[in-house]
Amino acid sequence: MRTAVVALAVSVSVVVAVGAAAEAPPGQTRDASDYQFGADTGLLVFHVHRERAADFEAVMTRLGQALQASAAPGRREQAAGWRFFRGREEMDAIVYVLVLEPVVRGADYDPVKMFTEFMPAEAPDLYERLKGAVVRVERLDLERLP
């Protein structure tokens, strides 16, 4: 079971690597598995297959509930800044935005790592549902302008 969970986390890290490489400024690289934010506000933008939207919403709702119930240091602080929105439908996908404000400095917002931490028995199923639903993920650090 533990091997399956580790393989699951590695698979997601590889998928996210493609999107993370596009975010890095020219001449710089960013750790593809890094779901930590450097600004006070972070965004995770999920493009989700329309026909898998219910799965995605269920997985993210379950993750938010687990985050709020966590006894781990800093996780409840993360939950306090967790805001989840559904956007309008685009061609064949629905856009969801996870607004993280304030960001907990040094905290990891990787959903797959959270699955394995909070609910290891459910992690393989949640991962498969998430993987099947998500077209791509964009990650942004936001800084407030005066």
- Which residue do the tokens 């119930």 mark? 69
Distance CA 71, CA 130 (A): 24
DSSP 67-124: HHH--STTHHHHHHTEEEEEEEEETTEEEEEEEESS--TT----HHHHHHHH-TTTHH
Q: Is residue 25 pLDDT above 50, yes or no? A: no
DSSP 58: H
- The dihedral region occupied by 28, where left means phi > 0, alpha psi between -120 and 50, and beta the remainder, is beta
Q: Is residue 123 pLDDT above 50, yes or no? A: yes
Q: Give me the domains of the chain, ranges plus CATH numbers.
A: 2-142 (3.30.70)
Record the pTM: 0.75
pLDDT digits (tens, 9 = 90+) for 33-55: 468 898 999 999 999 999 999 99
